[in-house]
Amino acid sequence: MILRALRTVALLLVAGLALSATRTARAQVDVSILGDSAYATIQLTGPGGVVHEAEVTIVFDSPRNLSVASLNLSAALFDPNDVAFRNRLPGGIVVDPAFPVIVTVEPPVHDWIFASDFAANEDGSGALSFRNTYELEIHTHALAYEPYSQYRLLKAPLGGHFADVSDEIASGSTRARGRGGAFSQFIIGRNTVAAGLPALLGVILPKATALTTRLLSAVLSDVLRLQLTNLLTSLVQIIVGGVLNPLLACTNAILPLDAFIGDVQEAADDGDIANLWRAQHDVVNDAGDLVSLARTLRFSLLNCSAGH
């Protein structure tokens, strides 16, 4: 009898601790869904009791099964001085110790019985899917904004290398925005590459190369591939030929890039290029990846053309 009572007390204590941990986690990262958008408020306490706060907004294009559970957004602190973490950063990017927050979005595959109520935007699987791209914004008061801010939104696969995906850095303290055709981890970093030729060769050319590489792996018709390849070839030639006048080269490269973005979006609308992402990871979102890479390249070209 006594042993049974002790076991009952122990089970209640474990349940209470689990419930307390759940409440604590929810207090740190509170996620809500409104229409085609997800909103998260983050509050993490670091060493010395320093509190790091942020707001994350994700706006989708045609999501299905969008819910708090299917999104699976979390946040944590990291050590910017950790060598293993620094090795994940691209060249010329550092992390401001005022905001060492990493946001992870890793949608799981749910059992539909528990995840779906067959609402209008659900297909019964309970697993998140969307078409084309999402726009993600991290907003924090910890990083001061100034025109042509050098802060950047970076994205990486789980445990992988980060890449700059910024397509806008807006005011209101700092709002780092970027698009993606797939998920995983996001941080805000700071660009240290100087404007002009260093930016042309160290930031813009690598982004153009990444876009070209991604185009090679996309499943396209011969006609569409040739059309898009010609635009990127023209863009790269302008960039490489801009050694003597980087600002002019960046300005001239925007025209073929805009044509590339427009053609990809039109092809996606017409069903000529895959544009679906699913949590099951059984399809490849060619259009979403290409548009995301193109838009962050456009962001860098605009900065370069303005001398920043």
Per-residue pLDDT of the chain (308 residues; tens, 9 = 90+): 433 443 333 333 333 433 333 333 334 999 999 999 999 999 999 989 999 999 999 999 999 999 999 999 999 999 999 999 999 999 999 999 999 999 999 999 865 544 444 455 665 568 999 999 999 999 999 999 999 999 999 999 999 999 999 999 999 899 999 999 999 999 999 999 999 999 999 999 999 999 999 999 999 999 999 999 999 999 999 999 999 999 999 999 999 999 999 999 999 999 999 999 999 999 999 999 999 999 999 999 999 999 99
**Domain limits of the chain?**
28-191, 197-305
Residue 97 φ then ψ, to 5°: -65, -10
Q: Looking at residue 239, what is its pLDDT? A: 96
Chain-centroid distance, C-alpha 135: 8
CATH architecture of 28-191: Sandwich (2.60)
R_g of the chain, CA atoms, integer Å = 22
Q: Looking at residue 4, what is its pLDDT? A: 41
Q: Looking at residue 111, what is its pLDDT? A: 56
Distance (Å) of CA 282 to CA 127, 129, 278: 12, 11, 7
Q: Looking at residue 109, what is its pLDDT? A: 86
Q: Looking at residue 18, what is its pLDDT? A: 36
Q: Which helix (H) or strand (E) holds 9?
A: helix 2-28
CB 210: neighbour CB atoms within 10 A? 16
Fold of 197-305: de novo design (two linked rop proteins) (1.20.1440)
Distance (Å) of CA 34 to CA 68, 73, 231: 10, 15, 38
CB 268: neighbour CB atoms within 10 A? 23
Q: Looking at residue 27, what is its pLDDT? A: 40
Tokens 């708090």 locate to 68
Give the DSSP letter of residue 64: B
Q: Looking at residue 126, what is its pLDDT? A: 85
